[in-house]
Chains A and B, each alone.
Chain A
């Protein structure tokens, strides 16, 4: 099956610093990637849709200047949390949609961000 990786799997940073999370589709090309975050005991919340070569589309309430998304190639999307604060601590998950007729989505293993 299709594999999506995320790096790092876990990161701890100090308040005010920026953190970059990478999402890679390892064995397929992904025109579209999605970023979600998940707070403890809650469901996944869609943050943004990332299309290769174009600007990301952010969901209502998600600050585009705080959560910078870059989708520079068909296999890599990055999410940068700028000026992180403790309330940004969360589980960040990306997914990639297979190009073509199948619209199954494949999820990365997630990145646990803790801001101290």
Chain B
């Protein structure tokens, strides 16, 4: 499994953009980069995933470095509900592959 490195914690203010970095320098060439988040006392929630190109959805944007050794999850306007632990996870694009969670980044959002 590819090893990932994320900051233990980050802080943001409401309505401001948040950039959550992740290093995955040993990622396989065919692994997708998935981001999940876990709100307190809940199961994780899918956020976004990508392979090489930057990706956007209603929740966030994902910027992937050209060499794929790092990526950044971008929350364009943080809200209090975005306070969670964010996990960056390389995942092989094949059925039956489990997500292996690292420690993630705990995001705090202040009003």
Q: Do residues A103 and B100 form an inter-chain contact, with CB atoms below 8 A? A: no
Contacting chain B: which of A41-49, A60-68, A74-82? A41-49
Query: Taking the complex as formed, is B17 at the interface, i.e. its CB lies under 8 A from any CB of chain A?
Result: no
Q: What's the interface size class on A, roughly?
A: 20 to 34
Chain A residues closer than 8 Å to B102, beta-carbon distance: 43
> Is there an interface contact between A97 and B44, defined as CB atoms closer than 8 Å?
no
The verdict on A17 contacting chain B, using a C-beta distance below 8 Å, is no
Q: Contacting chain A: which of B20-28, B64-72, B74-82, B88-96?
A: B88-96
| Contact A93 B98, beta carbon cutoff 8 Å | no
Residues of B within 8 A of A (CB): 32, 34, 38, 41-46, 49, 85, 87, 91, 93-104
Ordered by A's residue number, 8 sampled pairs between the chains whose C-beta atoms are within 8 Å are: A43-B102, A44-B38, A49-B96, A49-B98, A51-B96, A95-B99, A105-B99, A109-B43
B11 to chain A, nearest CB (A): 18
**Residues of the A chain whose Cβ atoms lie less than 8 Å from the Cβ of B97:** 97, 103
Assembled-state Cα–Cα distance A105/B93 (Å) = 12
